[in-house]
């Protein structure tokens, strides 16, 4: 069993121990501080500024979105109010139109009934006149026909003239 101890075999002994601090740590610390200060002076401020601007922009967008949502809700409420108002007004107009149509219908019916009554009266008058004319004409014809018939029955001509009509007597006494 051979064990090799590497640290002892390298020569120099314990002078190269990395756990023990030496002067390089101060140089590394100085370089770290320089890099830190450069970052803090030249890189962090623009990044912080850009991040702040982005946060401001996001905050403004959120506020704008909330404002737009509020205006949208208000517009929707106004729209609903106007729509309800328009529906109410449309119903009122529709009811008025129905009422007007009923009035027009009633007026037309009344006018038609009056016209029918007037035409009926005129027709009745015309019928009465025509009936009177027909009766007069028939009476005249009946008088003529009765005179002819009487003449045929009696064998002598008879003149029809009303009360003064001459009826020949044939010598018989009734």
In a domain, 11, yes or no: no
Listed in sequence order, the residues at least 6 apart from 146 whose beta carbon sits closer than 8 Å to its beta carbon are: 160
List, for residues 35-77, the tens digit of each pLDDT value. 999 999 999 999 999 999 999 999 999 999 999 999 999 999 9
Distance CA 144, CA 140 (A): 6
In a domain, 123, yes or no: yes
Q: Is the pTM of this model over 0.95?
A: no
In a domain, 2, yes or no: no
pLDDT at residue 1 in the model? 46
What integer is the mean pLDDT of 110-132?
Answer: 91
Distance CA 37, CA 21 (A): 24
Coil, helix or strand for 115?
helix
In a domain, 44, yes or no: yes
**Residue 17: pLDDT over 90:** no
| Residue 158 near residue 147 (C-beta atoms within 8 A) | yes
DSSP annotation string for 45-111: HHHHHHHHHHHHHHHHHHHHHHHHHHHHHHHHHHHHHHHHHHHHHHHHHHHHHHHHHHHHHHHHHHH
List, for residues 85-105, the tens digit of each pLDDT value. 999 999 999 999 999 999 999
In a domain, 167, yes or no: no
In a domain, 14, yes or no: no
Number of structural domains the chain divides into = 1
Q: Could you list the residue range(s) of the whole structural domain that residue 107 is in?
A: 24-154
Give the number of other Cβ atoms within 10 Å of residue 14's Cβ. Answer: 8
HSE at residue 95, side-chain half, CA atoms within 13 A, is 6
In a domain, 55, yes or no: yes
In a domain, 72, yes or no: yes
């Amino acid at each position: 069993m051979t064990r090799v101890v590497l640290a002892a075999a390298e020569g120099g002994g314990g002078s190269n121990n990395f756990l023990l601090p030496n002067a390089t740590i101060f140089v590394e610390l100085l370089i770290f501080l320089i890099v830190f200060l450069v970052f803090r002076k030249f890189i962090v401020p623009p990044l912080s500024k850009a991040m702040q601007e982005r946060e401001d922009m996001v905050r403004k967008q959120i506020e704008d979105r909330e404002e737009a949502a509020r205006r949208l809700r208000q517009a929707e409420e106004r729209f609903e109010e106007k729509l309800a108002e328009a529906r109410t007004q449309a119903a009122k107009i529709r009811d008025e139109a129905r009422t007007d149509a009923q009035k027009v219908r009633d007026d037309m019916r009344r006018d038609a009934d009056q016209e029918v009554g007037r035409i009926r009266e005129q027709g009745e008058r015309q019928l009465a006149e025509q009936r009177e004319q027909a009766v007069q004409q028939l009476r005249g014809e009946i008088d003529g026909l009765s005179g002819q018939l009487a003449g045929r029955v009696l064998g002598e001509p008879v003149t029809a003239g009303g009360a003064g009509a001459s009826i020949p007597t044939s010598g018989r006494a009734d």
